[in-house]
Amino acid sequence: MSTTTMPATSTTEPTPQALGIGMRFSLHPHTDDFVAVVLGALADAEAAGLAEGLVLETDDVSTYVGAREAPAEGRLVGYLAGVVTAASRRTGGGHVVAHVLLSRGCPGEVGCDLAVTGLPAAEPVALPPTGLAATAQWSLYPLLDGGSAAGDHMEHIERAIARARDRGTATGAAHYATRLSGDLADVLATAADAWAEVGAHVAHVVTHLTVSVGSPSGAAA
């Protein structure tokens, strides 16, 4: 994983790599054969060409996915949708959970220079329907310093939730999270679009969601 920091000033639009657009996720299929399901789902997504333009690193905790080519946000959640869909298929429609963290604006762990100008806007994510009903608990974190010119962090969060309601995927509130429901593609696109929209105004923004498909708890979850 690169620890290269962004330049203090920029005359061109930063690349996805320079912006540190990436994701970590952990996949948890609720089956005794979870090892084969996890490794098989990762292999299925790569075989389907969904890893193009991405850097993948899987360890004993999670899989890191770094975006190197535009459209970065669409590539990330397109890959994730493919992995979750493949895991569901390999479990025969069983319960699969993914814990997902998306980060934009800090490409390294040691150094992180956020003095960037001209933060690029992203095109809305367009994913084909998966046919999988999903629910998620979603949180959004604009990492703003006090008195930031980008505004108050709650303004960005409330605007993102309102847009999710407008598109019909925000279906309730939970402690520390917003509940999203719908086709897996719509749920992931909602979170990614909100994250990217805030990232056009805030130098570092993180979003987290726990996604569930095939839950035996159903709508009562």
> Residue 216 is inside which H or E element, if any?
none
Q: Domain of 164?
A: 16-220
Residue 106, pLDDT score = 72
Q: What share of the chain is helix, strand, coil (3-state, %, to 5)?
A: 30, 25, 40
Considering the domain boundaries, does residue 8 fall inside one?
Answer: no
Considering the domain boundaries, does residue 3 fall inside one?
Answer: no
Structure tokens at 170: 């925000």
Considering the domain boundaries, does residue 20 fall inside one?
Answer: yes
Considering the domain boundaries, does residue 211 fall inside one?
Answer: yes
Distances (CA, A) of 32 to 3, 39, 128, 130, 168: 37, 14, 30, 25, 35
Residue 154, pLDDT score = 86
Residue 205, pLDDT score = 92
Question: How buried is residue 27: exposed, middle or buried, by Cβ count under 10 Å (0-12/13-18/19+)?
Answer: buried
Considering the domain boundaries, does residue 192 fall inside one?
Answer: yes
Considering the domain boundaries, does residue 197 fall inside one?
Answer: yes
Assign residue 32 the CATH number of its domain: 3.30.70.930
Residue 69, pLDDT score = 85
Q: What residues contact residue 123 under an 8 Å CB cut-off, 6+ apart?
A: 71, 74
**Nearest Cα to Cα of residue 160 among 117, 125, 207:** 207
Give the global pTM. 0.87
Number of structural domains found in the chain: 1
Tens place of pLDDT per residue across the chain (221 aa): 333 343 444 456 777 877 788 999 999 999 999 999 999 999 999 999 999 999 999 999 999 999 988 899 999 999 999 999 999 999 999 999 999 999 988 755 444 555 555 677 888 999 999 999 999 999 999 987 555 555 678 898 999 999 999 999 999 999 999 999 999 999 999 999 999 999 888 888 999 999 999 999 864 44
Residue 12, pLDDT score = 67
Residue 16, pLDDT score = 80
Residue 108, pLDDT score = 56
